Amino acid sequence: MLYPTPIAKLIDSFSKLPGIGIKTATRLAFYTIGMSDDDVNEFAKNLLAAKRELSYCSICGNLTDEDPCAICQDESRDQTTILIVEDSRDVSAMENIQEYHGLYHVLHGLISPMNGIGPDDINLKSLITRLMDSEVEEVIVATNATADGEATSMYISRVLKPAGIKVTRLARGLAVGSDIEYADEVTLLRAIENRTEL
Amino acid sequence: MLYPTPIAKLIDSFSKLPGIGIKTATRLAFYTIGMSDDDVNEFAKNLLAAKRELSYCSICGNLTDEDPCAICQDESRDQTTILIVEDSRDVSAMENIQEYHGLYHVLHGLISPMNGIGPDDINLKSLITRLMDSEVEEVIVATNATADGEATSMYISRVLKPAGIKVTRLARGLAVGSDIEYADEVTLLRAIENRTEL
Ligand SMILES: [Zn+2]
Ligand SMILES: [Zn+2]
């Protein structure tokens, strides 16, 4: 298509996003041009701010705009339990049901034998360090109910159990093959209530 | 969901785009944070540049980064024909097939009696002004084959024909590569009416 350079470039930027093909990118770019100056300025500002102000918590690995993150800083939370998730969206999903009051650890990935991703390729070493001399009594593995989620869960259990830490996982209330971030609140609630020991 | 402010704001910006729900906006925002600094800076820059540098051609209404647009400036194009489209994307689609070499006029909308959009609400007045003392002999109405497209097409024909200007519209018929069994009745009707000799 023959577009003026500024819109061609904007289409290019939109099409770099996941699941956005060239037609959708074109539609979004044209829509953007019709938006108010304020909304477009805000959009650009938010892009830069998100990239600049967000980082990963040096303790738990959660996405945060302060370090340590608000959860790690909160001494009223149960310091004896750590819930392990794949990414920060899972932390938000869990916080949203207001049922879990312990700490988190964000893996930024899952062990995936099929894809050659091992324990050293995800944020696991820092969990072991964290558990030394800590008050943690229970680790709840809340990885997705997928093959990689299972592999990760089994690995964590194998490593932590000999150290005398109780390792549980979310109950199989989660539909097999589904993602935690899309689970409805009741399912998540049941899943955490019925967590089972590994 | 409880996200740090910078990502909540970015999710909000993404969700203002058409067809982007809250889940997709969240996915896109998280993806953006994982992109390189360069790509995010480029994205923000392109948003601002598209909004700042693009305007509508004062002659034809096409989206452009110079005024008049490259097409209106090009004296080698056929000055006796104007093709009327709903928006700038249609200009690009037409230019892409490299078959039409005349001028354009972009309406930025269609007459829509159902939605209370009349001739004065779209870029039509400037077309009439443009046709006065021009060399234009034929106006091709290339609006969509929808009720609003038809209404717009009929209005333009009614206004221009008395001025001695030839008004045509794109042929109606089966889409190339489409199956007869899936064509709607009106399309089939037009296709048989407008049949051509082999
Ligand atoms: Zn933290
Ligand atoms: Zn023009």
Segment A32-55 mean pLDDT = 94
Query: Is the Cβ pair A6, B88 closer than 8 Å?
Result: no
User: What's the confidence (pLDDT) of residue A197?
Assistant: 66
CA B62 – CA B68 distance, rounded (Å): 9
For B66, the closest chain A residue by CA position comes to A4
Structure confidence by residue, pLDDT tens digits, A126-149: 999 999 888 999 999 999 888 899
Structure confidence by residue, pLDDT tens digits, B6-53: 999 999 999 999 999 999 999 999 999 989 999 999 999 999 999 999
A3 C-alpha to center of ligand 1: Å? 46
Structure confidence by residue, pLDDT tens digits, A168-193: 988 766 666 777 777 777 777 777 77
∠ CA A112-A117-A118, rounded to 5° = 95
ipTM for the predicted complex comes to 0.75
pTM exceeding the 0.90 threshold for the entire prediction? no
CA B49 – CA B37 distance, rounded (Å): 18
Query: Is the Cβ pair A92, B1 closer than 8 Å?
Result: yes
A184 C-alpha to center of ligand 2: Å? 52
∠ CA B54-B24-A181, rounded to 5° = 155
For B97, the closest chain A residue by CA position comes to A1
Beta bridge partners of A141: A84, A169
Which chain A residues are within 8 Å of B31, Cβ to Cβ? 17-18
Which portions of chain B are predicted below pLDDT 70? 1, 196-198
Contact between B140 and B169 under an 8 Å Cβ cutoff? The reply is yes
Q: Which amino acid is at B179?
A: D
Query: Is the Cβ pair A43, B13 closer than 8 Å?
Result: yes
Alpha carbons within 13 A on the beta-carbon side of B116: 0
User: What's the confidence (pLDDT) of residue B1?
Assistant: 52
Segment A25-40 mean pLDDT = 93
Partner residue opposite B92 with nearest CB, options A1, A16, A24: A1
CA B19 – CA A40 distance, rounded (Å): 17
Of the candidates B5, B25, B4, B38, the one whose C-alpha atom is nearest the C-alpha of residue A18 is B25
Beta bridge partners of B64: B55
Which chain A residues are within 8 Å of B3, Cβ to Cβ? 63, 88, 92
Token pair listed for B155: 């209005």
